[in-house]
Copies of this chain bind each other. A is one copy, B any other.
Amino acid sequence: MQKYSKQTRLLLAVDCIIFGFDGETLKILLIKRDFEPEKGNWSLMGGFVQANESVDQAANRVLTQLTNLQGVYLEQLYTFGNTKRDPLERTVSVSYFALIDINKYEAQLSKDYHADWFPLKKVPKLIFDQQDMVEAAKKRIRYKAALHPILFELLPEKFTLPQLQVLYESVFNTSIDKRNFSKRVLATGLLIKLDDKDKTGSKRGAFYYQLNKQNYYTKFQSFINILPNPDTLQV
C-alpha cells in the first residue's frame, strides 16, 4: 500500500478544545490521560486519525466519544507539527475547538473519562504542547466571536439577554452597558423574543429569546458587531 516509496509516514492525531459556559465563566473540558506517556495527567481529549476516516471525522469521533453529543459546533483550529512535541514518537496533531451547551453534557461522562471542567484562568498544566493549543483556541474564540455570532453555540435553545451579556462579558473580560448591548444584539435580527421568562435570576424575571435559525445561518459569515470597540481588541 505504500506507493510513494521512501517517504516518511507518521502519526496524525486530533485534539479537541471543548468549550462550555456555566452562566458565569467560560470553561474547557479536560480528561485524565489513561495511557503512557503522561498517563494520569490532564490532557485535551484526542486520538489518532485512523486509516479509514478523514481528519474531520476523527475529530468528531473523539468529541462524541467524550460528550455523547452530535451536531456540535466543531471547527479546525491549527495543526501543530513540531518534531519533538510528543517525546515518544513523532506525531503531528490537528487541533479543533468545539462549543457545546454545557447543560447537554452529562456529568456521568466525566466519571467514565475522569474528565472535568476548568475555567480558562485555572487550566492545569497540560501534556505536550497542549497549553499552546488552548492558548490558540482562546485567541480564536475571541477573534471569531468579535466578528461572528458563534457564542450562541454555548447557550441553550432558550436564553435571556442578561445571560447572553454575561457570556460576552466573560469571553471578552469586559463590562458592557446593557442598554447598548441589547440594542446591538437585537439589531442583528438574530433573536426571536419568546413569551415566557426565566425567573431563576431575578424576581421580575427576564424574557427568553431563541435564535432565528434562518438569519443565523445566512448572516453567520458576515461581520456582525455586538462588541463595543472591537477595533481596540488585541486579537
Contact = CB atoms under 8 A, between A and B. Distances in A.
A78 B81 contact: no
A5 to B, nearest CB: 10
Nearest to A50: B8
Contacts of A82: 54-55
B52 A81 contact: no
A163 interface: no
A53 interface: yes
A194 interface: no
Contacts of A54: 81-83
Nearest to A235: B221
Give chain A's interface secondary structure class.
Answer: loop
A82 B58 CA distance: 11
Interface stretch (A23-31, A178-186, A197-205, A225-233): A225-233
A90 interface: yes
Contact of A92 (B52, B55, B224, B232): B55
Interface stretch (A9-17, A99-107, A117-125): A9-17
B223 A231 contact: yes
A48 interface: yes
A114 B226 CA distance: 49
A18 interface: no
Interface of A: 1-4, 7-12, 48-56, 58, 76, 78-83, 88-92, 94, 146-147, 221-225, 230-235
19 contacts: A1-B89, A7-B48, A8-B48, A8-B49, A8-B50, A8-B51, A10-B51, A12-B81, A49-B92, A51-B83, A51-B90, A54-B82, A54-B83, A79-B79, A79-B94, A222-B231, A223-B235, A224-B231, A225-B231
